[in-house]
Every structure is written in structure tokens, then in C-alpha cells.
Chain A
Amino acid sequence: MYRYDKYDQAMVDTRVEEFRDQVRRRIEGKMDDDQFKPLRLKNGLYLQLHAYMLRVAVPYGTLNSAQMRTLAMIARKYDRGYGHFTTRQNIQYNWIKLAEAPDILADLAKVEMHAIQTSGESIRNISSDQYAGAAADELIDPRPWAEMLRQMTTFMPEFSYLPRKFKIAIIASAEDRIALRWHDFALRIVQNTAGELGFEVFAGGGMGRTPFIAYCIREFLPTTQIFSYLQAVLRVWNRHARRDNIHKQRMKILVHDLGQEEFTAQVEEAFEHFLSLGEDFPPAEYDRIAAYFAPPAFEQGLSDEIDLSDPAFARWVERQVVAHKAPGYAIANISLKPVGGIPGDITAEQMELVADLAERFSFDELRSTHAQNLVLPHVKKADLYTVWQALVSAGLADANLDLISDLIACPGLDYCSLANARSIPVAQKIAERFADPARQADLGELKIKISGCINACGHHHAGNIGILGVDRKGSESYQLLLGGSGDEDTTQAKIAGPGFDEDGIVDAVERAVEHYRAVRSPNERFIDTYRRVGMDGFKEAIYG
């Protein structure tokens, strides 16, 4: 993985000391909150319901064991013994004290991590495939480009005061595991007929109160021209963005106001200009960065056999283990969704155990996923049983990847100051209702996504079943949505009808699920059945 050079380290260290001074001045009363708030947000420090919340960037979802151990240490020393993995592959701490925030950032800097650009009107942490560098189905590891984009977009003045936040994602496989087209700017690495690699470019996606799926604005962009192209996109947005109206500032609004054709034409024109400046990175720079992501020294001649004689282990392998590109290796998904648990939460002890497993069995690498789970990307098939036993001992061995209990949920009203309703209790009740593993397995892939308000941090627009918390005359209410997808077959979920209270929404989900069971064709997933039969039958089943 990428390692900081002396410039990266100096920038991050300097930033920590700058923030330490800002915090000191705030506490001494030399700055008021209006002055201080934008500064703390530039360092990922929010104020939530019960305390400050720190969002730490996990660049493209890649972590090593030293970093994970530091995250555990922070949870224990400065927080209350746990952290929360988010839908953008980052981690959040919920109980941070302002006075200690600079020390936390200093500890993070020691393991080449920070919280810069995890808030505010900036280019946020870049999402990438959690299986990058390991997946059997990828063209090439997308992370060198993610890292180059990270470097070119960090602290760049023109990108530091954007009209609104800007989220980038990049993958290199046909299967979309990161909700690609729900991002402002999304890249899929493809190959042209001449065998050259390039980007298929999408722009204008986003969730929030006005959801849009990104359009394709370029079918093939040579990889070496990405910097010019991204600048062109940002220039067009910067030029026209509705800075007067906070609800219309996201790029998705502009892209859809101008329309695919006009937006694309303006980008192409600006692109010509940026290309002519000759500022794109030289091929040698790609080689330099890519060297950091060279595949680990996989052993040759390993067997692909896995001893599945233990039935519980066999179930876990069937659900959680995915094909690896190297013979004899596998990708192991770690569920952070135990039935009745809090989606994405992980204790300091669990973080340490996972760090040990990464160090011993996965070439020191770990990944976080947008579905709020973790991944050991490079495990020898012969080691899977040992890994599984360790996960069992830590309560991390649930076999529910992409099943109904693998719910995505934002923190909601239990933690978040913007929330209308609690998300976590709804997630817990649904998982409990469908706890029986046989029932879950029978239902197959079924992605439920819950947000506690219209901001859509819990991706409800992309849920096969989406749930949105709303405020109905001062009490919590939940809307049910159906038919969304964050996968390669991206679709936006539609509202089924009137809302429900907390228990009512769990019953409504069950009625929708039972309707699916009644009308599905053999081997048909929930989303496919919904697309085939449409909303009406579901509506009738739900509302009677």
C-alpha cells in the first residue's frame, strides 16, 4: 500500500500542529464558534448529539494492521472503546473531547492517517473497491489512480472551496461493489479494442434530498489525462454552481439541470484547455505510485482445496469468501452485522483481533466496505479455518454478506444532530425478525438500507428495501422504499406509500418480503422480482 513520503508526512504533521493551535485559541476564547467551526470541520471534527464526533479517512478503504491497532488505541484511550465504520469506508468516533482532538490527530499521523477533507465543501475521501488488488474479476488494481487522485485533490486551492462536497469513486471491474454511480464523479477502468486502459467516466450522482444516478459523460478517457479531465469537470461546476442555494449546490443538480449533452460539451471544451497546459502526470509518476501497490509475494503451487467438514465453517465460507486472483488464496469478508448489533460498530478488542489476523494471514492488509463491513483481502485457503475460528471467538463470524441482516444503517437520532428518527433500533429489529439463518438463506440477496433523515447517509435510495426516518408532528416515522440498487444495475428506490411507526415498519418489511417469496421465480433475487412484477403487488401486500 501507499506509504507517506517526507512531504506527505510534513504536511500532515504541520496540519496537526496548526489545529492544536486553533483548538487552544478556541478554548482560550480568542476565537468564537463561527470562526472555529469551519476550522474544526476541515479536520473532520463535528459536533453531534452527545459529544464531538471525529471522522477519520480510510483512503480507498485500505488499512494495514498498525493503522487498525492505532484506531483501536484511539477508541480505548479517547473514546468509549468502539468505532463506527461508515458507508464511505471511513471510521467515526462518537465521544471525542475537543481538547484531546489534536492528540488524536497526532497519533493518527504516526501511522500515516488523518481526518482532512472528511467534511466540508471539499473533495472527500475517494472510495474504491474493497477487493482491489485481490478480486478475480478486476482488470487492474484501481488504487494507484485513487492514490494519485488523492494527492492531486488534497490541499489544492481550487478544490478547497468548492460549492459543496464532492465524492469520487473508482473501480476496475464490471461488478460494482461501491455504489459507483451514486457518486459525484465516478470512474470505471475499462479496456478499449486496442487493449489500452482508460476510464469510463460518470458524473452527477448523489443521494441526499435530491437523488440522482450519475450519467456516463465519457466512454473512454486515456488514464494519463485524468487530471485535466477532473479539473475540467470541477471548472464547469464551479462556474455555474448555485452557490446561492444550499440545496442546489451539489454537482448533481447542475449536471441534471444542464442535461447530459450540454454538461458533457462544456466539460469537453474546458478539457481541451486543461490538456493544452500539459499538467497531466507523466507515465513515470503512475509507475512510481503503482509500485506501492505491487501484489504481495503470493506463494506458488498452493492447493485450492478447503476442508469443509465443519458445517458452520462451510456456511461461513459459502457466504463470506470470494474468489481471489491468485491460486490458493481467497478474499474473506468479516461481518460487522451480528443480529441485534449496531451495523458498522466494532470494539477496540475486535479491531485488534482483526489487525492480528491481517498481519498473520493477509499480508498485513485490511479493507473497509461501503456496506460497513471489513475484508481480509489475501488469505491462503489453507488458513481460512484458523481465521474463521478466531473470528468466531470475537463475535465476528456471522455469515450474512448481502443477506437481509447485512443492513446498512446510519447513526440516526441515537447520535446524529440532523436526524429525524432513529435508524439503529429499526435495523436491529429487522435483523432480529429475520434472525433464523435458514430463513435468511432462503431469501437470498436482499439489501436493506436505512437513513435517519433525508441526507441519506444510510443509502436508502439505493436499498432493495430502503427506509427513511421522517419527523411526523414530533414523533419518529418511517417511509418504506422499494427497488433501489447500488450495484452495477443501479436504480433509485421509490416510495411505497404512507409511513409507519417503529414496529409498523418492521411488519411492513416482513409483508414485502413475504410477497416476494410468494411471487418469485426460481433463483430470482428480491430486486429482480420487484423489477419483473412492479410496485403494485408489493403495495397491496404491504398496505392491504
Chain B
Amino acid sequence: MRIITGNDLKTGAVTWWTGYDWSLHVEDAVDAGADAEAVMAREVATCRVNGPYIIDGEKTADGVRPAHIKDRIRALGPTVRPDLTLKPADPEAREWVI
């Protein structure tokens, strides 16, 4: 799938395109398909997202999984500070990244 991701302009938080809005959770990401470039251009113009880009990913039984480790770290948070990630209570989360 073609996922659009970027950072929220005001907070810098990692965001994922859900088809109609931005979400902090990679699980909400949708396949933007051939529209991805057009969505990106429109969203940049509304000043909600910073530096959006398109990545590869796949839908798995565990949800959406970005192809590159960098985007999986972006999706979760720093692997060395589980307490600061989006899933502080989930000991498996780090395994998902790596």
C-alpha cells in the first residue's frame, strides 16, 4: 500500500493520512493509491502537515506495517524509551519495530 505520512505542523507529532484526516496512529493509515501526490499537495497547502512523504507498507494481521524500520520507529516512538512511545504498556511493541 502507499501510505502518506508527515509531521503535524504545530506539534511535530508523526501523523498518518486516514483518507479524510490525519491520525497519530499508524493503524488508521489507508492506501492512498494513485491519489497520494494530490492529497499531499492539498494538505501541505492547508498547513496542517510538515514534510509529508509517501512510503510503502502492508496490511498485516497486526495492522498496518510500514516497510522501513525508520517509519516503524516513527509510528511507535524511540525504541530505547518504551515509556515515551504510543504503547508504553505493550512489551511486544518494540519487537514489532525491529
Binding site for B on A (CB under 8 A): 26-29, 32-33, 47-52, 80, 94-99, 342, 413-415, 417, 419, 422, 424-425, 428, 474-476
- Interface residues, chain B, with chain A CB atoms under 8 Å away: 7, 9-14, 44, 46-47, 50-51, 67-70, 73-74, 77-81, 84
Contact call A413/B10, Cβ cutoff below 8 A: no
Cross-chain contact A476 with B12 (CB below 8 angstroms): no
| A342 touches which of B12, B69, B73, B80 (Cβ 8 Å) | B80
From residue A84, how far is it (CB to closest CB) to chain B in Å? 11
Q: Are B69 and A50 in contact (CB under 8 A)?
A: no
A97→B10 contact, CB < 8 A: yes
Contacts of B69 in A (CB 8 A): 413, 474-476
Q: Give me 28 A-to-B residue pairs in the complex whose CB atoms sit less than 8 angstroms apart, sorted by A's number.
A: A27-B9, A33-B51, A47-B7, A47-B51, A48-B12, A49-B14, A49-B70, A49-B73, A50-B12, A50-B74, A50-B77, A51-B7, A51-B12, A96-B12, A98-B10, A98-B11, A98-B12, A99-B10, A413-B69, A413-B70, A413-B73, A414-B78, A414-B81, A415-B78, A422-B73, A424-B80, A474-B67, A474-B69
| Chain A contacts for B74, CB-based, 8 A | 49-50
Which residues of chain B have C-beta atoms less than 8 A from A415's C-beta? 78
Query: Which residues from A are CB-within-8-Å of B73?
Result: 49, 413-414, 422
Besides the known contacts A27-B47, A51-B11, 10 further A-B residue pairs in the complex with CB atoms under 8 A apart: A26-B47, A32-B44, A47-B12, A94-B78, A97-B10, A414-B73, A414-B78, A415-B78, A422-B73, A425-B80
Residues of A within 8 A of B84 (CB): 80, 95
Count of A-B contacts judged by CB separation below 8 Å: 72
- Distance in Å from the Cβ of A298 to the closest Cβ of chain B? 41
Shortest CB-to-CB span from A387 to chain B, Å, is 29
Contacts of A47 in B (CB 8 A): 7, 12, 50-51
- A52 in contact with B12 (CB, 8 Å): yes
- A50 contacts across to B, CB distance below 8 A: 12-14, 74, 77-78
A475 to B69, CA, bound (A): 7
Task: Tell which of A32, A49, A417, A425 has the most Cβ of chain B within 10 Å.
Answer: A49
B79 contact from A99, A417, A419, A425, Cβ within 8 A: A425
Closest A residue to B70 by CB, please name it.
A413
Q: A29-B47, A33-B51 are in contact. Are A51 and B10 (CB under 8 A)?
A: no
Bound CA–CA A414/B84 (angstroms) = 12
CB distance from B24 to the nearest CB of A (A): 11
How many Å lie between the Cα of A26 and that of B68 in the bound state?
Answer: 30
**7 cross-chain pairs, A with B, having the tightest CB-CB distances, nearest first:** A51-B12, A414-B78, A52-B12, A29-B47, A424-B80, A97-B11, A99-B10
For B46, what are the chain A residues with a Cβ–Cβ distance below 8 Å? 29
Q: Could you say which residues of chain B place their CB within 8 Å of the CB of A414?
A: 73, 78-81
Contacts A32-B44, A47-B51, A49-B70 given; indicate if A27 touches B80 (C-beta within 8 A).
no
Instruction: Tell which of B7, B14, B68 has the most Cβ of chain A within 10 Å.
Output: B7
Alpha-carbon distance between A414 and B74 when the two chains are bound, in angstroms: 8
Least CB distance from B87 to A in Å reads 14
Cβ-closest chain A residue relative to B7:
A47
A476 to B73 CA separation, bound complex (whole angstroms): 13
| Alpha-carbon distance A478/B78, docked complex (angstroms) | 19
Bound-complex Cα distance A388 to B46 (A):
54
Contacts A414-B80, A424-B80: A33 and B50 contacting too (C-beta < 8 A)?
A: yes
Inter-chain contacts of A342 with B (CB < 8 A): 80-81
Instruction: Give the residues in chain A near B68, CB-CB below 8 Å.
Output: 474
A143 and B7 alpha carbons, distance in the complex (Å) = 40
Set of chain B residues within 8 Å of A80, measured between Cβ atoms: 84
| Cα distance, A474 to B69, chains bound together (Å) | 8
- Chain A: which residue is nearest B47 at the CB level? A29
Q: Given known contacts A27-B47, A33-B51, A474-B69, is B79 in contact with A51 (CB within 8 Å)?
A: no
Distance from B86 Cβ to chain A, minimum over Cβ atoms (Å):
10
Residue of B nearest to A475 (CB): B69
Bound: A424/B80 CA distance, A: 7
- Return B20 CB to nearest CB of chain A, in Å: 20
Which of A51, A80, A476 has most B Cβ within 10 Å? A51
The complex places the Cα of A414 from the Cα of B77 at a distance, in Å, of 7
Q: Which of A27, A32, A33 contacts B10 (CB 8 A)?
A: A27
List residues of chain A with CB within 8 A of the CB of B50.
33, 47
